[in-house]
Amino acid sequence: MNSNFSFLPFFKVLWYRLIWIILFAIIGGGIGYAWLHQTYTPTYTVAANVDIHHTKTSRGSYLDQLNTDVNRLGTVQSEMSDLGIYRIASSTLKQDSSIDYSANKMQKSVSVLGKPSSTILSVSATTDSAKKSSAVVNAIITSYKNKYTKTDKRLVVKQLSKAKASSAVVSKAMYSSYIKNGAIIGAVLAYVVCLLLYFKQRKNKRQSKRGQLKSEK
């Protein structure tokens, strides 16, 4: 069975309209960059370390108490990540810093990680403001300290470094990805349009030729 289908027109359009395709790829990449530049909102991550341990008992040794505290670091991590602590921290933020940041938001933006073989936790928060992120971290650590040192007199909660806005890590926009996608979309659209125009022009030529043949007959 013979077929009139050929890939030649596709390659012809690609070759003869290559400049237009490249031009629209550049325009598409520029649009992708401009769109991300206008819509992107950076995030700010601030972290602080806190040492949580117990003073040794009069009969116990320092090493035994240290091993006990190291082994219960996972429990401490869960306690500090508890929604109840976040609620206290949220209330503290609103009263002391006039920052309205709910406990549910903290669950999504706060990370509490234990350092292996130690009694140290790293508390970090990622929000749309460096000041807010630092305030959230400090409020969580303070809230944990105020709650648990009341009932456990031997518990020591020592924040090793205050969370500061100046130490925030700012997220970076992935411009390369948007430029690439914009360029691809621009090039494909230009190619499709050129292809449609080519086939339309070829169809018009055929119809015109047929009309001439009929008129000659």
- Please count the residues of the chain: 217
113-158 tens-digit pLDDT: 999 999 999 999 999 999 999 999 999 999 999 999 999 999 999 9
State the pLDDT confidence band at 213, using cuts at 50, 70 and 90: low
Cβ atoms of residues 107 and 152 within 8 Å? no
3: pLDDT strictly greater than 70? no
Q: What is the pLDDT of residue 200?
A: 87
Q: How far apart are the first and last CA of the chain?
A: 32
**Span 177-198, average pLDDT:** 92
Q: What is the pLDDT of residues 69-86, one digit of tens each?
A: 999 999 999 999 999 999
Which of 4-18, 90-104, 123-137, 171-185 comes out lowest in average pLDDT? 4-18
Average pLDDT, the chain: 90
pLDDT of residue 1: 47
Residue 81 backbone phi and psi in degrees, to 5 = -90, 0
Q: Measuring CA to CA, which residue among 44, 39, 67, 3 is closest to residue 175?
A: 39
In the numeric block, the tokens 């598409």 are attached to 28
Please indicate whether residue 87 or residue 40 has the higher confidence score (pLDDT). Answer: 87
| Topology, domain 44-170 | Alpha-Beta Plaits (3.30.70)
CA gap 195, 9 in Å, rounded: 8
| Residue 43, CA atoms < 13 Å, CB-side half-sphere | 9
**Residue ranges of the domains in the chain?**
44-170
